[in-house]
Amino acid sequence: MIRWETIDTVLLDMDGTLLDLHYDNTLWNQLLPTRYSEAHRLSEEAARSHLFSHMHEHHGQLTFYCLDHWAEFTSINIVGLHEELVELIRFRPNAERFLLWLRNNGKRSLLVTNAHRDSLSVKDAHSGIVRLLDAHVSCHDYGSPKETRAFWESLMREHPYDPERTLLIDDNDSVLRAAAEFGIRHLFTVQQPDSGRAARDGLNFPSFNDFLEILPDG
């Protein structure tokens, strides 16, 4: 499926790729609307519609991923919500095994995430994800999300990579398209980012579900 001898750097998204997106979806689509409706004395439906229209407006922008922005917009302790759901933080099928395989086979691995540093810290404390990769980058370090060319340029400056010999795995189609435009040659997506939802079909990039599927046989 992947000709590993043609790849020396692997860029990995976190939420929905290495980690189960069920955690984030539960937080943003269920827990936050409930707490927001309680705090602002709104119906759950009104809370949802207010929050979701704001999400829609900021979709794909840095503010969408910024916990400080959401804490200010909602007057809710967003990091506190992250702590409440930590039992839902888990790796996707065979993600840890895949990361160990990369390390044992001399492939450089970089975590490239749109997640805010506070969210990354909570996830790392409960999964140990950071130490399994050679380096990690939050788009907030660069001031531009992965959906923009500026992100891939900044990444190139900090962690030079050969786009022809780089693989990006990400569950976000807009991110994959931005990376393709920048020239990253090998691109894969994930069929079921959230274990609580059905697998997706009609994807625009080659895809897999379990990381074992992309490892060489044996």
Interface contacts to Mg ion, rule CB under 5 A: 13, 15-16, 171
Residue nearest to Mg ion according to CB distances in the complex: 16
Residue 146, CA distances (Å) to 89, 138, 169, 190 in order: 22, 9, 12, 17
* H-helix or E-strand spanning residue 97: helix 95-104
In Å, how far from its chain's centre is CA 85? 17
Nearer to Mg ion, 37 or 138 (CB): 138
Minimum CB separation from Mg ion for residue 18, in Å?
A: 9
Nearer to Mg ion, 47 or 95 (CB): 95
Total Cβ atoms within 10 A of residue 173: 14
How many Å apart are CA 198 and CA 56, to the nearest integer?
A: 22
How many Å apart are CA 215 and CA 3, to the nearest integer?
A: 10
Residue with tokens 């050679």: 134
Q: How many residues does the structure list for the chain?
A: 218
Contact (CB, 8 A) for 98 and 211? yes
Nearer to Mg ion, 37 or 172 (CB): 172
Minimum CB separation from Mg ion for residue 172, in Å?
A: 5
Nearer to Mg ion, 20 or 171 (CB): 171
Rg (CA), the chain: 18
Minimum CB separation from Mg ion for residue 206, in Å?
A: 16
- Pull the structure tokens for residue 30: 């269920």
Minimum CB separation from Mg ion for residue 193, in Å?
A: 6
Residue 11, CA distances (Å) to 67, 75, 111, 162 in order: 23, 34, 6, 12
Nearer to Mg ion, 76 or 147 (CB): 147
Minimum CB separation from Mg ion for residue 125, in Å?
A: 19
Minimum CB separation from Mg ion for residue 13, in Å?
A: 4
Nearer to Mg ion, 14 or 47 (CB): 14
